[in-house]
């Protein structure tokens, strides 16, 4: 990835195109794409807007991301700005319309209760608690918490997930909304 060494003199749009090609390159899949984001932000000294560009380009294409992968990504971030300062039009409108205190939900197993990715849509959290895109979840639970708008790092509206992304420590008071048990109704050979 030595090509990124020159990005400090190049326009951000050119960097975005390069980052997207790296994030979708040979051997990159939804389960290792978070590592590629981390590779990009670790390997080069980048302005905050370029760091967020790499994250915004790749995050919604990631699956089964571990807390360690997220921590690796953000270990090199300067946080001169938050991602909310670099949103596309649709995401900016979504962010602008959020209240000052946002109710968020997370569908996850109990050991991943305090993750970075939450949603404003309880139905989305339920999908994640049950498992989505073929990723099984053991003990899937829906959690509810609140977050103050200034503590939101960034948002995503892609895939209709109404995603709120922030540090997990800001949601320590997450409460269980419901548990997704193994007694779900079975239809057409699938558990619903």
pLDDT single digits (tens) 122-132: 999 999 998 87
Domains of the chain: 2-81 (no CATH), 84-179 (3.20.170)
Q: How far apart are the first and last CA of the chain?
A: 43
- Over residues 126-176, the pLDDT tens digits come to 999 988 777 778 888 999 999 999 999 999 998 899 999 998 755 556 677
Residues 6+ apart with CB under 8 A from 87: 56, 95, 154, 155
Enclosing H/E stretch for 163: strand 163-165
pLDDT at 8: 62
> Is the predicted pLDDT of residue 19 greater than 70, yes or no?
yes
Q: What is the mean pLDDT of residues 72-100?
A: 95
Both tokens of 49, joined, read 């807007």
pLDDT at 132: 74
pLDDT at 30: 92
CA 30 to CA 65: how far, in whole Å?
9
Q: Look at the block and give the residue holding tokens 């995503």.
A: 156
CA 21 to CA 9: how far, in whole Å?
19
Average pLDDT in the chain: 84
- Over residues 99-138, the pLDDT tens digits come to 999 999 999 888 888 889 999 999 999 999 988 777 778 8
Q: pTM of the entire structure?
A: 0.82
- Over residues 20-51, the pLDDT tens digits come to 999 999 999 999 999 999 999 988 888 899 99
């Amino acid at each position: 990835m030595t090509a990124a060494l020159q990005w400090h003199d190049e326009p951000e749009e050119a960097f975005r195109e390069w980052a997207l090609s790296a994030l979708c390159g040979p051997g990159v899949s939804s389960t290792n794409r978070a590592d590629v984001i981390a590779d990009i932000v670790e390997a080069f000294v980048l302005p905050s807007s370029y760091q967020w560009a790499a994250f915004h380009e790749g995050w919604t294409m990631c699956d089964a991301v571990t807390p360690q992968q997220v921590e690796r990504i953000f270990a090199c971030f300067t946080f001169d700005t938050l991602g909310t300062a670099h949103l596309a039009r649709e995401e900016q409108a979504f962010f602008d319309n959020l209240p000052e205190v946002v109710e968020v939900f997370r569908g996850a197993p109990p050991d991943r209760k305090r993750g970075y990715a939450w949603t404003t849509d309880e139905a989305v959290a339920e999908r994640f608690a049950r498992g989505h895109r073929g990723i099984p979840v053991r003990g899937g639970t829906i959690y509810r918490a609140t977050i103050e708008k200034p503590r939101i790092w960034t948002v995503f509206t892609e895939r209709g997930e109404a995603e709120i992304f922030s540090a997990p420590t800001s949601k320590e008071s997450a409460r269980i909304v419901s548990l997704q048990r193994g007694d779900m109704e079975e239809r057409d050979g699938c558990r619903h």
